[in-house]
Structure 1
């Protein structure tokens, strides 16, 4: 739903392509718009063969739009930004220069007034702390090698973690300063407070994936051993109180709830512990199979 700015966007893109002698495609993904965005783009760009318009029948989200755009081209490099003209198409050559230097991913560090600066700052700081990504702005204009996106499976709304996931696989990342301009029309679609909670949960999910997907036994096995050990401690304590305590001349101690609940607790802890260790071993085999499939796909 960016119909008000589409004419200006296409005009600036054509000017940037002409001024900087750029070659390639401009892919506009219409993510289920209800304001004739695609139709207006077709009219404005008539005669410009560089523009390709792809439509989603319904709104799927930014991640799906990014993947759709990438799948529709065979170009080596991709430059991605929103159509709201808060990022200038004239920045494209600077991103391409960095890619030509050998970097796998180039992100933009926004300079200028930003309505969501506080929330964005918290998110970016948490991401840098958790994932050790050497950039200060993960959700900005970016350029990268297409093969990186092809090698990843992004879940819904995981576009913001593309840099994190690619970096975890060894991609080199750098950033450049870019100007952020005020919106020329419309309102941001990412203002819901609920999105903050979703973003934090996604952050935890990605962190868990990166920490334990390669070595699942590290998490499940360790947790299982802790539960098994705790169950053994409870069993020893119950045995001591029930049998050894009276044998040593002390008065028998009988818990208010009796000994049977302790027995059930021991059984539960031991069963959960062994199940988690077994699940960790199976997960190791699944991870190994996934790595082998990834290698086959690369070949």
Structure 2
């Protein structure tokens, strides 16, 4: 009993954590130990913890961190199953912390950890709500980026300007610190889409934030592979859409509609191929074209619109069959509503558009529930 009381007393008198550093990871086994070493040096004199959020690493990252955390109480680990995404990982890590200030840094060693004490001081001492590391200042630098990557980043920054309540020189930055209460205030409005959690934060906050920008030089990845791929651009556009029109129209519905429009083109092309080029009977060519268009729509929606619920293997086939069923019912609704509008109001264009809208909305809602349902 005496030993238990001593342990409780020791824990009670431990200094409170000043800073939680959230580190999203996915296959970063070669970097985490070096990152922790650098954090220990940079944050000497600061009561800190590192909150690693792992999205199903297969290279031993989570196992390595588990061993480290058992020996070092400053290291904590959240293992996520069936969920991925840097932004949502950051949000989960921040919500699991209790410190008054939360910082975010990548595990790939490309961010400069030595600016973290400046960020903490700006928030604790100077009363700032948000401190960001910027690559776009006189003292900052994008490092060894080529001209093409720099132009893309600058263009993305300009696209973000209309949705930002707080003006930032580098809203794409993944290195920043924020008061935890500010993040909690914005949390219900966060999209948690893609990689740009800082942009999501300043677009979701109810007001402009008191911010300071601290220059740093973007480094070079030392180990592992970059997580940037073609999906990053799509996720960025999704975030911009969500913060601009998402309150009126779901972003997935917009994506579903765009893919449906492409599907119309596929259907017409297949109809021409079957009827004119292959000389098939019109009914046969039409059936082939409709099935082809539905297959095209399903495949693209599976990869893009519902990639967070993407169907693979046997589930892909059952999902395709359920999508056929949903779209068949949608086609009946399309024809029925179109005919009703034509009877009541006349006008071929108006009737066709009304039927198409009803059919599309049905397909979107029903396929989200039946085909890409979350179980």
Q: What TM-score bracket applies, with the shorter chain setting the length?
A: 0.5 to 0.7
Q: Superposed, which structure 2 residues align to 1:168-187 within 5 Å?
A: 168-187=206-225
Matches within 5 A, 1:45-194: 47-100=71-124, 101-110=126-135, 111=141, 112-114=143-145, 116-131=149-164, 133-140=166-173, 141-151=175-185, 152-153=187-188, 154-157=190-193, 159-192=197-230, 194=231
8 A contact 1:105–1:163 mirrored in 2: no
Cα distance between partner residues in 1 of 2:71 and 2:52: 16
Check 1:113–1:49 CA distance in 2 against 1; reply closer, same or farther (3 A cut): same
Deviation at 1:71, TM superposition (A): 1.6
CA radius of gyration, larger in: 1
Distance in 2, Cα, partners of 1:179 & 1:63: 22
1:224-274, CA deviations, whole angstroms, 9 ceiling, x for partnerless residues? xxxxxxxxxxxxxxxxxxxxxxxxxxxxxxxxxxxx999535xx79xx9xx
1:14 alignment partner in structure 2: 40
Following superposition, the deviation at residue 72 of structure 1 comes to 1.3
Of the structure 1 ranges 165-174 and 68-77, higher mean CA displacement relative to structure 2 is found in 165-174
Q: Measure how far apart 1:47 and its partner are.
A: 3.1
Deviation at 1:11, TM superposition (A): 1.3
1:35-46 matches, cutoff 5 A: 35-44=59-68
Question: Does structure 1 conserve the Cα–Cα contact (< 8 Å) formed by 2:132 and 2:212?
Answer: yes
Q: Distance in 2 between matches of 1:206 and 1:24?
A: 33
1:198 aligns with 2:235: yes
Are residues 1:26 and 2:60 paired?
A: no
How far did 1:59 drift? 4.2
The aligned counterpart of 2:279 is none
SS of residue in 2 equivalent to 1:125: helix
Shift of residue 156 of structure 1?
A: 3.8
TM-score (normalizing by structure 2):
0.52
For structure 1, the 5+ residue unaligned runs are 214-259, 273-299
The answer as to whether partners of 2:163 and 2:203 remain within 8 angstroms in 1 is no
- Shift in Å at residue 9 of structure 1? 0.9
Whole-angstrom CA distance in 2 between matches of 1:190 and 1:30: 17
Q: Deviations over 1:36-83 (max 9, x none)?
A: 112223445653221111111244211221121112111110000111
Structure 1 residues 61, 201: CA separation in 2 closer, same or farther (over 3 Å shift)? Answer: closer
Structure 2: state its 5+ residue gaps.
1-26, 136-140, 250-341, 355-375
The 3-state SS of whatever aligns with 1:108 is strand
Give CA deviations for 1:141-167 in whole Å, capped at 9, x if unaligned.
Answer: 011011222222323416253332245
* Residue 99 (structure 1) shift: 1.2
- Could you tell me how far 1:3 is from its partner in structure 2? 0.4
Larger RCO (CA within 8 A; separation ≥ 6) = 1
| Aligned counterparts of 1:13 and 1:45: Cα–Cα separation in 2 | 15
TM-score for both structures, normalised by structure 1: 0.65
